[in-house]
Structure formats: structure tokens, C-alpha cells
Structure 1
């Protein structure tokens, strides 16, 4: 076989190899991202749609692995929103909380440690406080705490500036702390907000 008959690799072959590499490296992370936002029975279908869009836009795929992951999260978010309307769009942004996610938010003890009754109470309180957050605040915290994105990457997922995201994240953290310190009461009025907290809000 002559050298000319071998020729250089075709560009579409190189793109396919690159796509398959990113697919293998990010599929699990994208699936987890989607599973927190839709019923588990629909998650794999959504992820399939995400990678179809990614293949069509392969020229836009970032070279950096972490940036590529964030880029795919952004596509996943838009796929989810495109399938919903009105109130359903708000629900599409709601991030479900699971036991392992609660532990990451509260910085739970080391694996294998004995159960701590106080930690169990905090665990319940945090899960309750999470459910009281708005979808926007849940999403901001989840992108950083569970999806391991930087503020710049999370901002790209949401289509806002890094400064705007950092402000949104700061508010989300403040609201979560407020809910943890002021659980919902049915028989008593909420405690007054401390003066120091009012001055920084």
C-alpha cells in the first residue's frame, strides 16, 4: 500500500474520537446533574439529548476537560428548560437533595465514624432548610457544592456573568443559613433577625 493511499486522518474522524473521549469522561457527571432535576426514569433520555446537541455543536466543545463538563451542564440545563413551560419551568430548576448531598453541604464527619445523634438532627434540619430555598438558590448552591464548578464555570452554565453568579451564590448561602437558624414555626412567631445580619443583608 502506498503512502499516498494512507493519507492523514480525516477531520471528522478526529472530531469523533474527541467526542467519544469527552463522552466517556463526562457521561456519569452529566447523568448525576440531570438526575437531580428530573425523575430518574427520564434522566437517561435527557442525557442522550444533551450529547446529541453536543455532537452537533462539536466545534464549540472546549478543549479543557473541566470547561467541557461545565459546557455540557449548560446544554443539559437548556434541554431541561426547553421541555417545560410556565410553572413547570420553575420546577425544572428545582434540585433534589439526597443523603450524600446533605453530607457534602454540611461537611459531615469522616467515613466510618460512629453515628452522631447531633449530626443526624443537623442532617434533618439541613434537608428541611434546602427544601425551603427557591429553585434559583438551590441551583446556585448545587453547581458549586455538588457539581464542583468554579464561579466562572457555574456562571457560564447559567448564562450570567461571574460577578452576578457570585452575588447570587452569596445570597443563596445567606438564605440557607437563615433557614437553618430560623426553622419554620407553626406555633410561634419567627425570631427577630439579628442586627448584625440585617446590616449585612
Structure 2
């Protein structure tokens, strides 16, 4: 369709969009709830736009290619939802803390929870893989499908941002 150096051809993309849109919607309606169809269709065409040079040369092969992208998008969405659900369950079933915790320890845990919640999802995931799931950096890197060094950098940055969130904030009105 287009060479790797050229940007997508808007007219060709529009023709593909118009030719496949209804079929793609029907394909997805059979696989996912109605509320998610628009999001998956949008993500599918976004992938097609970004990877325009990789679209099959034969017009008859473009439709199945887009269906495969939609199927992969659905799988990724489901995995992400399942991971978030599993994480919420693991957090919910944490054993209760001993009743004799002192107020400072309780306050620290509350502060830590709030600081963690203010982090971005990537930072939360890196910290959770190590702290909650007990994975070493090499194992966590495999989970995220990145190199061990890339994960180590990500973890280091996440720890630094968490520490920054835990720093005392200057209160207004003090000099």
C-alpha cells in the first residue's frame, strides 16, 4: 500500500475504513458487550493507521488483517482488566494488621497507600510486581516483556516517584 517511509494515504485509508467498518462492528458485537465495541473499533483503526505500510497488498486480505488486530486488541483489553481485577483481589485479601499497631505505623500505611494511588499505572505495576508479587527484576521484566535493564530503570524511577510522593508537603501560609 505505502512504503515504510511514506505516511498513510488518507484516501486509501478512508476506502479501507468505509469498506470494512460495518463488518468489523458486527465481528466485535458477537464477541464483546456493546459498550466496548466503539473503543475496540477505534483502537483497531488506529493500529491500521499507524501500521499502514504493513497492511496486506491485496484488498481482500485487509479485512481479515483488521479482524486479527481487533481480536488481539480484545485479548489485550481482557488481560488488562483481569490483571487489574486480580490485583484488587490480592489487595483485598491481605491479612489484617495486628491490632497493637501504633498510630504512627497506621498513619504511615495510610500515607503510603495515598502516595501509591497518586502514581501512574506503570509505576504502580512495577512496584507491585516486586513488592506484592515477590518477583525479582528479571522475572518482572519477563512479565512485562521488556529487558531486565529496562525494568530496573522503570522500578528505580517508580521508587523515586513514590518517595517524592511521601515527602512532607509545605503547608500553605507558612514562611
TM-score by length of 2: 0.45
TM-score by length of 1: 0.40
Structure ID, larger Rg: 2
